[in-house]
Amino acid sequence: MQVLVVGAGVIGLAVARAAALAGHDVTVAEATGGIANGVSSRNSEVIHAGLYYPTDTKRAVHCVRGRRMLYDFCASHGVAHKKCGKLVVATNEAELLKVESIKAQAEKNGVENTEMIGGNAARTMEEELFCIGALWSAETGIIDSHGYMLALWGELQDRGGMIAFETPVERLTYKAPHWHVQFGGRDAGSAEFDAVVNAAGLGAQALARRIDTYPAGKVPRLVLGKGNYFGFAGRPVFSRLIYPTPIDGGLGVHVTLDLAGRMRFGPDVEWISEENYSVDPRRADSFYDRIRTYWPGLPVGSLVPDYCGIRPKLTGPGEGQADFMIAAEPDHGLPRLVNLFGIESPGLTSSLSLAEEIVGYLEH
Ligand SMILES: Cc1cc2nc3c(=O)[nH]c(=O)nc-3n(C[C@H](O)[C@H](O)[C@H](O)COP(=O)(O)OP(=O)(O)OC[C@H]3O[C@@H](n4cnc5c(N)ncnc54)[C@H](O)[C@@H]3O)c2cc1C
């Protein structure tokens, strides 16, 4: 099949690679001038173990399976990563109950190598940490996500696939047996494909509305959950990821590490109505308060505004977590079309597993 993938983020690249490996002729259309210019370059670069997500949801299934696939991929393709592990910490009795329930959920999700440990054991691992107990997840890690996406792109090219940059997809029309696609930008024009995957991230809903005859009621609303990060101006004190208990809309302001060992904090959850990528320095106050519950020694004046990312959410404050939405022919009635909505965290971790499911919909 001639397959068009819209969007060169981690999901589009993983789908394009999987389709090319399955023998299809793949083109990726990307609106910007490079890969990973959207959500995929603005995240925590954590390989999640799959602890939190409700049993049998797509997030739970693809996170656990995708994580195993991702470690194998990193090893076989020379992508820098580190299985540094993470502690989900409880600083009071109420949080301890929450952490225990996360442990139970992790077991239901089939996550390997998790263990409840006491406060002293946690402090033996990380001496600056305060907690009364913690969940240790040995399978959690960090990845050079850009290196990963370059490796996906490389494999796509090896299989004859290509990316057309500065090529926004403007309209899709199904004229049996083909998809007729109109492009704008550098290569403005039109072309025909057998199958289309909409992996446009924050643009997925807007694109779905420009698919002729796509049922309008099947385009979910897009809720923007901005996540701000603050860098730490000092010598890093933790060598593992440290997470508080989750909050509404996110996993809580946690300690993330990059592969150079640098420490940063975030992301929080800021509900916004329009895309913007500025980090308000005044948000530092709430970061200090939250971080000091588990790191009392956080020095005054050590947090500096860093970057932010925007989660393409399907639900808003107080509404509970939505699952990844993979809308294929059984959902909308149009052949060989998959729309991906709400691919927020753990999308990076899940990408290889999600890609296999998505390519499967194109073929059947
Ligand atoms: C703050 C934050 C932290 C996160 N942390 C983690 C983490 O630690 N671990 C993890 O597993 N996941 C994490 N995630 C989730 C992960 O980053 C996303 O699930 C993933 O990057 C989504 O990738 P994508 O390819 O769907 O979207 P994007 O990377 O946004 O790619 C979509 C692409 O489509 C292009 N596009 C849009 N419209 C069109 C059009 N009409 N035509 C052509 N191109 C178009 C855009 O330019 C963009 O390049 C985090 C997310 C956020 C926001």
CB–CB of 215/330 below 8 Å? no
44: closest CA among 304, 364, 345, 247?
345
Instruction: Please tell me the distance between residue 28's alpha carbon and the centre of ligand 1 in angstroms.
Output: 15
Instruction: Please tell me the distance between residue 43's alpha carbon and the centre of ligand 1 in angstroms.
Output: 9
- Amino acid 68 reads R
Please indicate whether residue 211, judged by its CB atom, sits closer than 6 Å to ligand 1: no
Q: What is the mean pLDDT of the chain?
A: 96
Q: Residues 285-289: what's their mean pLDDT?
A: 93
pLDDT band at 247 (very low <50, low <70, confident <90, very high): confident
Instruction: Take atom 17 of ligand 1 and give the residue whose Cα is closest.
Output: 40
List beta partners, residue 137. Answer: 86, 114
207: closest CA among 4, 1, 16, 2?
4
Residue 187 has pLDDT above 80, yes or no: no
Helix (H, G, I), strand (E, B) or coil at 223: strand
Other CB atoms within 10 A of residue 270 CB: 17
Residue 252 has pLDDT above 90, yes or no: no
Max alpha carbon distance in the chain (Å)?
A: 66
340: closest CA among 170, 220, 180?
220
Instruction: Take atom 2 of ligand 1 and give the residue whose Cα is closest.
Output: 43
pLDDT of residue 255: 94
Residue 34 has pLDDT above 80, yes or no: yes
* pTM for the whole structure: 0.97
pLDDT per residue over 137-154, tens digit each?
999 999 999 999 999 999
Residue 18 has pLDDT above 90, yes or no: yes
Q: Which of 145-149, 186-190, 320-324 has the lowest mean pLDDT?
A: 186-190
pLDDT per residue over 63-118, tens digit each?
999 999 999 999 999 999 999 999 999 999 999 999 999 999 999 999 999 999 99
342: closest CA among 310, 317, 305, 364?
310
Other CB atoms within 10 A of residue 141 CB: 23
Q: Residues 347-357: what's their mean pLDDT?
A: 98
Q: Residues 171-181: what's their mean pLDDT?
A: 97
115: closest CA among 88, 135, 90?
135
pLDDT of residue 300: 95
pLDDT of residue 211: 98
pLDDT per residue over 114-127, tens digit each?
999 999 999 999 99
Per-residue tokens: 288: 């200090």
pLDDT of residue 363: 87
Query: DSSP string of 343-358?
Result: --TTHHHHHHHHHHHH
Please indicate whether residue 4, judged by its CB atom, sits closer than 6 Å to ligand 1: no
Other CB atoms within 10 A of residue 325 CB: 16
43: closest CA among 323, 251, 272, 237?
251
Please indicate whether residue 28, judged by its CB atom, sits closer than 6 Å to ligand 1: no
Instruction: Please tell me the distance between residue 184's alpha carbon and the centre of ligand 1 in angstroms.
Output: 21
pLDDT per residue over 257-279, tens digit each?
999 999 999 999 999 999 999 99
* Dihedral sign computed on CA atoms, order 11, 13, 15, 18: negative
pLDDT of residue 306: 96
Please indicate whether residue 199, judged by its CB atom, sits closer than 6 Å to ligand 1: yes
pLDDT of residue 246: 85
Other CB atoms within 10 A of residue 37 CB: 17
Please indicate whether residue 343, judged by its CB atom, sits closer than 6 Å to ligand 1: yes
Query: DSSP string of 17-78?
Result: HHHHHTT-EEEEE-SSSSSS-SGGGSS--EE----SSPTT-HHHHHHHHHHHHHHHHHHHHT
Please indicate whether residue 8, judged by its CB atom, sits closer than 6 Å to ligand 1: yes
118: closest CA among 100, 134, 94?
134
CB–CB of 323/57 below 8 Å? yes
Q: Where would I find the beta strands (DSSP E) of 83-168?
A: 86-90, 114-118, 133-137, 141-143, 162-164
Q: Residues 274-303: what's their mean pLDDT?
A: 95
Residue 344 has pLDDT above 80, yes or no: yes
Residue 184 has pLDDT above 80, yes or no: yes
pLDDT of residue 166: 97
